[in-house]
Amino acid sequence: AQTVTQSQPEMSVQEAETVTLSCTYDTSESDYYLFWYKQPPSRQMILVIRQEAYKQQNATENRFSVNFQKAAKSFSLKISDSQLGDAAMYFCAYRSFQGAQKLVFGQGTRLTINP
Amino acid sequence: EAGVTQFPSHSVIEKGQTVTLRCDPISGHDNLYWYRRVMGKEIKFLLHFVKESKQDESGMPNNRFLAERTGGTYSTLKVQPAELEDSGVYFCASSPLSGTPNEKLFFGSGTQLSVL
């Protein structure tokens, strides 16, 4: 079975600075998807970024980018120019390439932005 | 377009009582998923509907939990009788039945269940 581990329960960063959230996973599959979801106080889960394992290029969405290291099974999220609105719980998630959208989540990292 | 709607947003019940959570997926979404986050731990998969059929219920913790999706539209998740360890946030998510593996999953805001 696949597992996802987020070793940082809490992180904080100064506004406008850069922060990196860590995620590691374990799988025997070669094709899969990895995700970062953001959960603000409203509890609405919002997809931040997605990476297909067969793509070597790291995904980027505006200020959000990932460092995907397939051999190391590592998938970190970098937030550049942090903004107050980035404060939230961030969840890393894994999904097999085939089949349904059954996600395996990590424990989450609470990100605080200091003004 | 309305998103995934869940209600109630909060529910406080006593141990032994029954609670029913409801999820209205985005119109036209045949896939419907239930997840929950208990005691600040990781979010875990509970089950998956395709239309009105249970495709995968491997994550259901025990027989106190009953999920239904009559008519393939909204879904309910009933907990009877509720236990203290059932407290947590129950999320619903939906997606179209497009057949493509990269279809986006849309989440609701969850129901915070507190069992006292």
pLDDT over 70 at B100, yes or no = no
Contact B42 A106 (CB under 8 A): yes
Q: Residue B59 has what DSSP assignment?
A: T
End-to-end CA distance of chain A: 41
Q: Residue A63 has what DSSP assignment?
A: T
Q: What pLDDT does A42 receive?
A: 84
Minimum mean pLDDT range among A31-35, A77-81, B101-105: B101-105
Q: Tell me the two tokens of residue A112.
A: 């605080």
Q: Hey, is the C-beta of A107 within 8 angstroms of any chain B C-beta? A: yes
Among B99, B89, B61, which Cα is nearest to A91's?
B89
Q: Tell me the two tokens of residue A92.
A: 């890393």
Chain B nearest CA to A3, separation (Å): 10
Q: Tell me the two tokens of residue A29.
A: 């599959």
Among B101, B84, B63, B98, which Cα is nearest to B16's?
B84
pLDDT over 70 at B101, yes or no = no
Q: Tell me the two tokens of residue A43.
A: 């509890």
> Among A101, A103, A109, which would you mutate to test the B interface (most chain B Cβ atoms within 10 Å of its Cβ)?
A101
* CA pair distance A107, B65, nearest whole angstrom: 23
pLDDT, tens only, B12-69:
999 999 999 999 999 999 999 999 999 778 899 999 999 999 999 999 999 999 999 9
